[in-house]
């Protein structure tokens, strides 16, 4: 590329784009000019690198001050842009936290009810944190948060009820009866004593278990000296409960309080990074991550490390790194963007020190990483390794099952796809309620799994209410008319149109729906052999479905235990679910608008229902003329004029 010669020999980040503007690859370099030029100095042939280089239409670069800045910018862009040739860890879920609410502590008085702000509550929380309350975590799962809340209830008896419930209590609830709450809502504990329990709970969550036990013991002795034996007995019971928790939870009392344990494992062409969290000395559980684009990304990194003409020692060392190490480094660089980093990381493989230093600078926390730990850390690492093995084995088993189903369907239908991985199925279903809010769904299956990002819903208009055949005709015409037009053009598909014809088109229905699909495909000049209807079996029982073909072949029954039928049923059920959820949402909108009709004098629920059924919803009623409205049973000409005026 002509732009390469103008690049500076400075640290930075580069991005490659294809002709459609899609990001192909994001990389970093200590010397931008030498690194980028290495991609274009030789012919890479039919390799993955050559495939990527052949698609490059333009590039962008960003110069930074240091390699650490380049590393952080690179992974921010990878996480944002999801390039095809980078290792990507997708995680759309935010981490949950345990929250202790805080308000202004006011002394309790006998002339009124307690103030909710004086008695903080513990709660499950997911979202952005603020300084107003105390947050502990993040936790790997909601279950870990809820288990911690139960521990706080058992030991410190903190409330979990909402403020509105708290303010309206006149007697203690069941949690007080079973000794899970101290009853602050009915003044069974003072705000000062409750605040001490809150402080002890916060210290416990922070891992200060011995300090908590010492403080409780001091409070117990102080009450005993004042001859307040009931209060002393309550604190003694708290200490006993806390001791049992420490024993049952095997909470470690070493210097480690907050630690993340990271294990990378590769098997069968798939990878797993298992993240185990230790917070406050407690092992909270594991969370697996499965990266994508592994082979492409590793090929790119290996090439960059071997062909970078700069002779940089770090890059030469990177070429000899294990696959697990490179995956682990990609996870660390991407995962801790926007997520609190603990001061200690335990890793299954040694990671680049520069990465840890850059992460420390970015987070403001001095981070240490150990890959060959001892004692308690070794136990944690072995637990995480075992869980990584289990999670990866489960993934491979599930994917193997899905691949077997795809292969079984291809064999049963005697198909010969060029690439089984890219075998694509689109399935359509129609949903409505007595003709109201008709919605059509299209779900997509390829690469052996459902692709929810490619699902589409179609609002159906201009048909007789309840006419499923007309609805199917409309959605298929809207879906495939552009495909047919592109195929008629000389280079339509070669131009990379996104609307390509799937290998199989499933319609939920029997001969009627298939006949409608055949009419659409014939009018568009498309291949009829791709259309298959999923017809309900005798008694509409699951497992008795038959396949109906648009090209005239005889119906096929695959068998109740057929892997092919399981895949067809899975896709059909997903289309049905997606259509129903869309229909219900649309129906809710229609009925909100439809309520305006009932406000018209002379129109009650029955006439409203007739109008909506006749015209397919509030939009149809609004578009109807006075003469059309008057054709509905029970609607006189005068009432039709009143409806028309009200809606216009």
Q: Return the CATH number at 42.
A: 3.40.1440.10
Please answer whether residues 444 and 436 qualify as being in contact, where contact means their C-beta atoms are separated by less than 8 angstroms.
no
440: which 2 tokens? 């059509």
51 in any annotated domain: yes
The CATH number given to whatever domain includes residue 623 is: 1.10.150.20
Residues 6+ apart with CB under 8 A from 320: none
487 in any annotated domain: yes
Q: What percent of the chain has pLDDT over 90?
A: 13
610: which 2 tokens? 């007739």
- Distance between CA atoms of residues 524 and 488, nearest Å: 10
Last residue of a domain, one of 62, 81, 100: 81
- Distance between CA atoms of residues 349 and 642, nearest Å: 77
In DSSP terms, which residues pair with 368 in a beta bridge? 344
Where does the pLDDT of residue 571 fall: very low under 50, low under 70, confident under 90, or very high at 90 and above? very high
Cis amide leading into 346 (omega within 30): no
Q: Are residues 426 and 560 in the same domain?
A: yes
Quickly tell me which residue has 């559980």 as its tokens.
285
Torsion of CA 282, 283, 287, 289, to 10 degrees: 100
Last residue of a domain, one of 46, 81, 116: 81
Flag the least confident range among 232-236, 239-243, 503-507: 239-243
Nearest to 504, CA basis, from 533, 540, 524, 471: 533
For the chain, the domain total comes to 4
pLDDT value of position 236:
80
How many C-alpha atoms does 392 have within 13 Å on its Cβ side? Answer: 19
Q: Are residues 623 and 498 in the same domain?
A: no
343 in any annotated domain: yes
pTM above 0.75, yes or no: no
Q: Are residues 437 and 388 in the same domain?
A: no
The model's pLDDT over 511-559, given as tens digits with 9 standing for 90+, comes to: 889 999 999 999 998 988 899 999 887 766 767 788 999 988 888 888 8
144 in any annotated domain: no
The CATH number given to whatever domain includes residue 431 is: 3.30.420.340
Q: Are residues 576 and 604 in the same domain?
A: no
Q: Are residues 540 and 572 in the same domain?
A: yes
Q: Are residues 428 and 574 in the same domain?
A: yes
pLDDT value of position 47:
66
The model's pLDDT over 577-625, given as tens digits with 9 standing for 90+, comes to: 998 887 676 655 544 444 567 677 888 878 888 887 777 677 778 888 8
Please answer whether residues 574 and 427 qualify as being in contact, where contact means their C-beta atoms are separated by less than 8 angstroms.
yes
Angle between helices 191-205 and 209-225 in degrees, nearest 10: 150
98 in any annotated domain: no
- Distance between CA atoms of residues 209 and 212, nearest Å: 5
List the domain range (segments joined by +) for residue 77. Answer: 2-81
The model's pLDDT over 272-306, given as tens digits with 9 standing for 90+, comes to: 999 998 887 778 888 898 887 777 666 666 665 55
Q: Are residues 389 and 424 in the same domain?
A: no
Quickly tell me which residue has 């040739």 as its tokens.
85
- Residue 567 to residues 65, 457, 560, 572: CA-CA distances in angstroms? 53, 22, 12, 9
- Distance between CA atoms of residues 640 and 597, nearest Å: 11
What angle is formed at CA 420 by the lines to CA 419 and CA 421, rounded to 5 degrees? 90
The model's pLDDT over 97-147, given as tens digits with 9 standing for 90+, comes to: 889 987 655 544 445 567 788 899 899 888 777 778 888 878 888 888 888
pLDDT value of position 215:
75
Q: Are residues 356 and 456 in the same domain?
A: no
138 in any annotated domain: no
Q: Which long-range contacts (CB under 8 A, 24 or more apart) does 316-320 make?
A: 318/352
61 or 138, higher pLDDT: 61
Last residue of a domain, one of 29, 51, 81: 81
92 in any annotated domain: no
Quickly tell me which residue has 């502990």 as its tokens.
136
440 in any annotated domain: yes
Q: Are residues 346 and 460 in the same domain?
A: no
Q: Are residues 374 and 454 in the same domain?
A: no
Q: Are residues 428 and 572 in the same domain?
A: yes
Q: Are residues 452 and 491 in the same domain?
A: yes
Please answer whether residues 297 and 330 qualify as being in contact, where contact means their C-beta atoms are separated by less than 8 angstroms.
yes
């Amino acid at each position: 590329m002509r732009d390469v010669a103008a690049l500076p020999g400075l640290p930075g980040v580069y991005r490659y784009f294809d002709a459609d503007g899609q990001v192909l690859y994001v990389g970093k370099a200590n010397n931008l000019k030498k690194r980028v030029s290495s991609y274009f100095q030789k012919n890479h042939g039919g390799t993955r690198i050559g495939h990527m280089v052949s698609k490059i239409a333009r590039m962008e670069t960003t110069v930074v001050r240091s390699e650490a800045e380049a590393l952080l910018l690179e992974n921010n862009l990878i996480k944002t842009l999801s390039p095809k040739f980078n290792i990507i860890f997708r995680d759309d879920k935010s981490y949950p936290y345990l929250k202790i609410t805080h308000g202004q502590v006011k002394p309790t008085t006998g002339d009124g009810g307690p103030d909710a702000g004086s008695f903080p509550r513990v709660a499950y929380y997911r979202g952005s944190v603020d300084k107003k309350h105390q947050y502990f975590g993040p936790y790997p799962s909601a279950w870990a948060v809820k288990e911690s809340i139960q521990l706080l209830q058992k030991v410190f008896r903190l409330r979990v009820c909402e403020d509105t419930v708290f303010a309206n209590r006149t007697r203690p609830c069941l949690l007080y009866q079973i000794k899970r709450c101290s009853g602050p809502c009915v003044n069974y504990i003072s705000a000062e004593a409750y605040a001490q329990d809150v402080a002890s709970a916060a210290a416990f969550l922070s891992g200060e278990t011995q300090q908590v036990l010492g403080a409780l013991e001091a409070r117990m002795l102080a009450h005993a000296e004042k001859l307040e034996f009931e209060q002393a007995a309550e604190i003694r019971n708290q200490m006993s409960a806390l001791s049992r928790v420490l024993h049952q939870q095997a909470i470690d009392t070493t210097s480690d309080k907050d630690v993340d344990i990271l294990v990378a494992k590769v098997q069968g062409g798939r990878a797993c990074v298992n993240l185990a969290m230790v917070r406050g000395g407690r092992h909270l559980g594991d969370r697996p991550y499965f990266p994508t684009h592994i082979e492409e990304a590793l090929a790119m990194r290996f090439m960059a490390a071997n062909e970078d003409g700069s002779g940089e020692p770090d890059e030469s060392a990177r070429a000899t790194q294990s696959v697990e190490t490179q995956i682990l480094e990609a996870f660390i660089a991407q995962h801790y963007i926007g997520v609190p980093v603990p001061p200690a990381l335990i890793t299954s493989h040694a990671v680049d020190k520069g990465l840890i230093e850059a992460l420390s600078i970015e987070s403001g926390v001095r981070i240490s990483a150990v890959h060959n730990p001892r004692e308690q850390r070794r136990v944690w690492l072995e637990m995480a390794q075992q869980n990584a093995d289990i999670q990866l084995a489960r993934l491979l088993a599930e994917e193997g099952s899905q691949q077997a189903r795809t292969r079984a369907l291809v064999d049963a239908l005697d198909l010969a796809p060029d690439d089984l991985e890219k075998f694509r199925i689109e399935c359509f279903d129609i949903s409505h309620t007595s003709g109201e809010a008709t919605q059509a769904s299209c779900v997509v299956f390829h690469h052996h799994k459902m692709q929810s990002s490619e699902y589409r819903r179609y609002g159906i208009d201009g048909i007789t209410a309840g006419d499923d055949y007309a609805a199917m005709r409309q959605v298929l015409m809207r879906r495939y008319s552009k495909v047919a037009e592109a195929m008629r053009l000389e280079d339509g598909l070669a131009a990379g149109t996104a609307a390509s014809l799937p290998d199989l088109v499933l319609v939920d229905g029997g001969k009627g729906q298939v006949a409608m699909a055949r009419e659409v495909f014939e009018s568009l000049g498309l291949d009829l052999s791709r259309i298959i209807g999923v017809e309900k079996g005798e008694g509409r029982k699951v497992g008795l479905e038959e396949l109906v073909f648009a090209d005239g072949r005889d119906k096929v029954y695959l068998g109740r235990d057929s892997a092919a039928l399981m895949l067809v049923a899975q896709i059909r059920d997903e289309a049905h679910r997606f259509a129903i959820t869309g229909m219900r949402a649309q129906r809710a909108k229609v009925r909100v608008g439809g309520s305006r009709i009932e406000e018209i004098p002379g129109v009650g629920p029955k006439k409203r229902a007739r109008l909506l059924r006749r015209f397919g919803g509030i939009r149809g009623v609004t578009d109807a003329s006075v003469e059309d409205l008057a054709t509905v049973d029970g609607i006189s000409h005068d009432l039709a004029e009143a409806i028309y005026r009200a809606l216009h």
